[in-house]
Amino acid sequence: MKLVVIAGPPSAGKTSLIKQIVKRFKDEITIAFLKIDVVKAFEDIELKKEFGILTKKVYSGDLCPDHAGVMVLGDAVAWAEKSAADLLIVESAGLCLRCSPYLNQGLGIIVLSSISGIHVPEKMGAMVSLADVAVITKIDLVSQAEREVLIQKIKEVHTGIILMETNALQGNSLHRLYKLIKNSPDIDKDNLFLKGNPPLGTCTICVGKKEVGWKHHFGVVQKLDGPFAEYLYRGE
């Protein structure tokens, strides 16, 4: 079974892109889809209705959605394999800019919209830098020059990434992506690891303590202007 993990900020066009991928492959192979979101998601219902593929969703609630992904992905892979799926597509919530949902196997795709602003690729950290492929959507809404400016910017920040552009509503020029998916090797489910580093432990904010100000907290905390390093771990 092949694995494709798709990340990107809300409304970037992740689901639209997934629909194009499903449309392209659904007559050849069995596809399973997992949506991870924080509070509400409808993608599973939508994709099941439109294409009749296997779908599932999970809400991460108070947990970082990418952490939730790590927790449930083992089950998801087992579920998809039991259902004889040839391709498992995971759509992440795309909210945690600290973490990234990509694994050491399969294809990691970041979806970015052309109208989300020129500095977004720099701000998004691991979600972009650890992806194998970046798909720029909504190119129908901007000028060619602006598309090229955005591409140049991403290339300068993330030199190794494979870049492509599309109008995700029509699936323009995605042959190259389909080829990458087709050629990606089957995963070995006993050797799946998170590509990025998980956050340093948890902190008192993570476990729900609401007091404001670093003095009230320990774990991973940081003063706004302080003599500390950029990142600080306070153990007690």
Ligand X SMILES: Nc1nc2c(ncn2[C@@H]2O[C@H](COP(=O)(O)OP(=O)(O)O)[C@@H](O)[C@H]2O)c(=O)[nH]1
Over the window 25 to 54, marking each residue x when it contacts Mg ion by CB under 5 A and - when it does not, the resulting string is: ------------------x-----------
| 98 touching other proteins, by CB under 8 A | no
What is the rounded (10 degree) CA torsion for 22, 66, 128, 123?
Answer: 130
SS3 content of the chain, % helix, strand, coil (to 5): 35, 20, 45
Q: Give the range of 8-16, 46-54, 64-72, 116-124 binding ligand X by CB under 6 A.
A: 8-16
Find which of other proteins, ligand X, Mg ion, none residue 13 binds, CB within 5 to 8 Å per kind: ligand X
Over the window 106 to 145, marking each residue x when it contacts other proteins by CB under 8 A and - when it does not, the resulting string is: --------xxxxxx--------------------xxxxxx
Q: Give the range of 28-36, 58-66, 163-171, 179-187 binding ligand X by CB under 6 A.
A: 163-171
| 169 touching ligand X, by CB under 6 A | yes
| 197 touching other proteins, by CB under 8 A | no
Nearer to Zn ion, 43 or 66 (CB): 66
Q: Alpha helix (H) ranges present in 43-173?
A: 43-51, 65-82, 120-123, 126-129, 144-157
113: nearest Cα among 82, 88, 147, 81: 147
| 105 touching ligand X, by CB under 6 A | no
Positive/negative CA dihedral, 198, 189, 14, 144: positive
Nearer to other proteins, 145 or 229 (CB): 145
Sheet bearing 133-137, strands edge to edge? 54-59, 31-37, 87-91, 2-7, 107-113, 133-137, 162-165
- Is residue 91 within 8 A of residue 6, CB to CB? The reply is yes
Binding residue for Zn ion (CB under 5 A) from 53, 73, 85, 96? 96
CA dist 104 and 86 (Å) reads: 18
Binding residue for ligand X (CB under 6 A) from 1, 8, 31, 35? 8
CA dist 135 and 179 (Å) reads: 14
Find which of ligand X, Zn ion, other proteins, none residue 203 binds, CB within 5 to 8 Å per kind: Zn ion
* Residues 6+ away with beta carbon under 8 Å from 21: 4, 89, 174, 177, 178, 181
Find which of ligand X, other proteins, Zn ion, none residue 32 binds, CB within 5 to 8 Å per kind: none
Footprint of other proteins (CB under 8 A):
114-119, 140-146, 148-153, 156, 163-164, 170-176
